[in-house]
Chain A
Amino acid sequence: MKRTFPILAAVTALLLVFGTYQALVVAPTERTMGDVQRIFYYHVPSAWTAFCLFFLNLVASVIYLIRRNTSADALAVSAAETGVVFCTVVLVTGPLWARPVWGIWWTWDMRLTSTLVLWLIYVSYLLLRRFSDSAQTPVLAAVLAIFGALDVPLVYFSIWFFRTQHPQPVMGGGGSLDPRMLRVFLLNLAVFTLYGALLCWGRYRIEVMRRQVEETRALEALLDDGQAGSSPARSSR
């Protein structure tokens, strides 16, 4: 069990290198956009990973509220944090891609705006966790996560309607993907999902450890108070 994480990390690192090579070298150059289009192999998998992690956060939050299971809460924090990281990657790579292709950094398009709102909701979730000290922070955060999840369809509908009212010329239609591109894309999608899962798992382990350390410290402080003077000769795990 202890070995799984480093092994998985090494495998993910290798796969990321391989995926990057495939995206930068092997995949054919897009006809109209040129090399800039290669950002697609990071942008879309990051978005997918972020959405998966946010969904994981919701599931963990609901489980926490039902079972009051602290590891579910630790998972919720980890998923939200790593999700925000991937969502930030999406929001940074998006404008980088948009500027040469659309000629603008940002447009209040449906997908862009809903991703931004999602990012805002989860940043507010992390801020709440940071600014709430009480032991009930997990409950408050889980409730906020549920509210955020309820908000997502409403955000999506409002922006969808707003933008169909005011059509923007920038969003390219569906179009078909070259099979070689699709292969590289699917590879990167899988690798990024793995990478996201790995980061989330690592963060989860840190969170669990942090809580154990805090508990041990609190216990030691209590013992210190109890037998003032005598040094607590406890070996820390």
Chain B
Amino acid sequence: MSLLSPVTRATLLKDIRLEWRSKDALNSMLFFSLLVVVIFSFSFDPNAEESRQIAPGLIWVAFLFSTVVALNQTWARELRNHALDAYRVSPASPNSLFLAKTLGNFLFVTVLEALMAPLFVVFYNLRSIGPVWQLLLIGVLGTFALVVNGTFFAALSLRTRMREIMLPVILFPVSIPAIQAMVEATHIVLTGEGTARFWIVLLLTYDVVFTTASLALFGLILNAE
């Protein structure tokens, strides 16, 4: 038995193919986070020691903002030609669609992070003192935390006025503990002071809680019309 349902796989592959051909989300996210990096370094003009202190916050803020760019178009795309309505009347389960969208966004944001991470290292002269493999774990868990709630809230805000601004407005407050955990964990690993275990466990809890909540409630959101 395959891990993903056929619907999830088809939607995921469709989104990846769309992104591969247009590269809309990735290009805009990349350029956007590059701008955030440059503007931040002009605003703070950090030296090496300071940059180690502020870099974790900066990295994740840049990724958070860029994630919103990707999330804003993930459902809006399905509104064209009433694709979402067609999905709604089809017998496919809402969660398959949600899972596909979440995995797609997770993939795009991960690619963005992989491309941007070297740039951060170069621009801010970063060098990890703590264990580097933990950074990978934090990256995966943190990205998923942003993306799972982001995908859910993007669907939730799809039919509001000014949805481009509504998404960050409802996503950011709920994401505060996750962002704090990512930033703190990254900070601990980069400076090598103490252990990041608590924050990684918190991120994991956050991921589990909100993935469960999203899967439990997504059907309501999709059928809310």
Chain A complexes with chain B? yes
Residues of A within 8 A of B (CB): 65, 117, 120-121, 123-125, 127-128, 131-134, 136, 139-140, 143-144, 146-148, 150-151, 154-155, 157-159, 161-162, 165
> Does B34 interact with chain A (Cβ within 8 Å)?
no
Chain B residues with Cβ below 8 Å from A128 are 156-157, 160, 166, 169-170
Q: A150-B210, A155-B176 are in contact. Are A133 and B161 (CB under 8 A)?
A: yes
Cβ contact within 8 Å between A147 and B176: no
Q: Which of A131, A133, A158 contacts B181 (CB 8 A)?
A: A158
Cβ contact within 8 Å between A151 and B174: yes
Cβ contact within 8 Å between B225 and A121: no
A126 to chain B, nearest CB (A): 10
A198 to chain B, nearest CB (A): 28
> Does B213 interact with chain A (Cβ within 8 Å)?
yes
Least CB separation from B180: chain A residue:
A158
Least CB separation from A140: chain B residue:
B156
Cβ contact within 8 Å between A120 and B173: yes
Least CB separation from B176: chain A residue:
A117
Q: Could you write out 17 A-B pairs with CB less than 8 Å apart?
A: A121-B173, A128-B157, A128-B169, A133-B160, A134-B159, A136-B159, A139-B224, A143-B217, A144-B170, A146-B213, A147-B174, A148-B174, A150-B210, A151-B174, A154-B205, A154-B209, A158-B177
Chain A residues with Cβ below 8 Å from B176 are 117, 120, 151, 155
Chain A residues with Cβ below 8 Å from B152 are 147
Q: Which interface residue of B170, B173, B181, B210 has the most chain A CB atoms within 10 A?
A: B173
Q: A144-B156, A150-B213 are in contact. Are A134 and B224 (CB under 8 A)?
A: yes
| A154, B178: Cα distance in complex, Å | 8
A77 to chain B, nearest CB (A): 16
Chain B residues with Cβ below 8 Å from A125 are 170
Q: Is the interface of A mostly helix, strand, loop or mixed?
A: helix
B202 to chain A, nearest CB (A): 6
| A161, B156: Cα distance in complex, Å | 31
Chain B residues with Cβ below 8 Å from A151 are 173-174, 176-177
> Does B15 interact with chain A (Cβ within 8 Å)?
no
| A132, B160: Cα distance in complex, Å | 4
| A131, B153: Cα distance in complex, Å | 14
Cβ contact within 8 Å between A147 and B161: no
> Does B108 interact with chain A (Cβ within 8 Å)?
no
Chain A residues with Cβ below 8 Å from B224 are 134, 136, 139-140
| A136, B210: Cα distance in complex, Å | 22
Q: Which of B13-72 contact A (CB under 8 A)?
A: none
Cβ contact within 8 Å between B173 and A117: yes
A61 to chain B, nearest CB (A): 11
Q: A132-B159, A155-B177 are in contact. Are A124 and B169 (CB under 8 A)?
A: yes
Q: Which of A127, A136, A155, A157 contacts B169 (CB 8 A)?
A: A127
Cβ contact within 8 Å between A147 and B149: yes
Q: Which of B157, B166, B174 contacts A121 (CB 8 A)?
A: B174
Q: A117-B176, A150-B213 are in contact. Are A131 and B202 (CB under 8 A)?
A: no
